[in-house]
Amino acid sequence: MDYLKIHATKTLQGKVEISGAKNASLPLIAMTILAKHPLTISNLPDVVDIKTLLKLLSKLGADCDFSHKSVRVDTSTINETKATYDIVKTMRASILVLGPILARFGHCEVSLPGGCAIGQRPIDLHLKALEQMGAHIDIKAGYIQATTPNGLHGCEIIFDKITVTGTANIIMAAALAKGVTTITNAAREPEVVQLCEILAKSGILIKGIGTAILEIHGSDGTLLDIKDFDVIPDRIEAGTYLCAGAITKNELTLTNVEPKHLGAVLSKLEEMGSSFTITNDTITIHPAQRIKPVKIITQEYPAFPTDMQAQFLALATQAEGVSIIEEKLFENRFMHVSELQRMGADITLNGHTATVNGKTELSGTDVMATDLRASSALVLAALVATDETNIHRIYHLDRGYEALESKLQKIGANIERLKE
């Protein structure tokens, strides 16, 4: 098993190229099930979650050729509609195949999902919406068994709470359904917007893209003419490297980035004293030499993203004053706090709120990654800690960050990947 060894780095400088967005890539790969012909998706991140979903498609019978950040997918050869536990257990996003498989073939079996343990992410909202669209659903022996005796039909769906994966799943199902589906309280994340935009370019009329109310006019079973496309840049990876510049107080430039997707992150970094030079596809951070404390509440897009909470918590340990970070989306997403405390961070937890007393001197030690974003928080803390930090269980990190240690090495970080 791999681990990262990191020493404090006083000087980072240069450019970091941001990879394609993992959270956009996954629904877009699942979307290929709706295509009538092969297509190529480019600017994919080379991370474990992408390979896992492509492996799942391959087991269903699709032909997937992944090389050099692009994949050629042919789903015309799919001859299986059962997504088995051995793959689904490793990644919750595997549930994204449920909507498109059911819409295309009229039946499917998908194992109940697994993945990292940041909290409960129930799929009941997905299933309730599919039932409203005419699906018959049973859960037996750990599998969702779904059929559509009369096909899927459009209807009005109101999500009780915002669900990104649920919104994507129902959008894909609605694309092949008969009639018009309206989704109220839809997720507005850029990753959902790109899914809608690609479907719209493929002949599906979708009204309200980027808003909380989507109206999708289905094709009544006709497969789609989906053209080749590029995945949008990863806003969470970009935010993580911005935090690297902020916590080490070094100027860094990000390339291949979409600044408009980072509004809440940039706003909070500005509150903490940083400033920015921004172009259409670059962001240069000019960090504060005295980091100010901050108050953060995680909420759905366009508010502050839960996927950046851990990184900002690490940054807050170096702010001069008391920062308050409230996690509103996932109940177990403070598991990294105990590891940061091992490094000397002064953090108090009260329910879903973390109080961070800064500035504290962090000391390197052995720590353990507990989930994907917690891994990057420990990396950030290690960049400013005295002595040596060893971060274990970094398979979490590999699920969502492409070549993190290589990118950090190129800008001057003292970091290396080793075997246990």
pLDDT in tens, 73-112: 999 999 999 998 888 888 878 899 999 999 999 999 998 8
d(CA 3, CA 8): 16
Task: Report the Cα–Cα distance between both ends of the chain, in Å, rounded.
Answer: 6
Beta bridge partners of residue 183, listed in sequence order: 157, 214
pLDDT of the residue at 118: 32
Residue type present at position 99 = G
Burial 128-153 (b: 16+ CB within 10 A, else e): ebbebbbbebeeeeebbebebeebbb
Kindly list the catalytic residues.
116
| Rounded mean pLDDT, 363-392 | 94
| pLDDT at 298 > cutoff 90 | yes
| Rounded mean pLDDT, 46-70 | 95
d(CA 416, CA 420): 13
pLDDT of the residue at 122: 67
pTM of the model: 0.95
Closest C-alpha to 390, from 334, 332, 339, 316: 339
| pLDDT at 23 > cutoff 80 | yes
pLDDT of the residue at 85: 86
Segment 127-143, tens digit of pLDDT: 999 999 999 999 888 88
pLDDT of the residue at 35: 98
User: In the chain, what percentage of residues exceed pLDDT 70?
Assistant: 97
| pLDDT at 186 > cutoff 60 | yes
pLDDT of the residue at 332: 65
SS3 387: coil
| Rounded mean pLDDT, 329-333 | 70
| pLDDT at 180 > cutoff 70 | yes
User: Residue 224 to residues 14, 101, 175, 219: CA-CA distances in angstroms?
Assistant: 43, 14, 9, 8
pLDDT band at 333 (very low <50, low <70, confident <90, very high): confident
| Rounded mean pLDDT, 226-244 | 98
d(CA 401, CA 396): 9
Segment 39-54, tens digit of pLDDT: 999 999 999 999 999 9
Residue with tokens 């190229």: 17
User: In the chain, what percentage of residues exceed pLDDT 90?
Assistant: 87
| pLDDT at 117 > cutoff 80 | no
d(CA 89, CA 83): 10
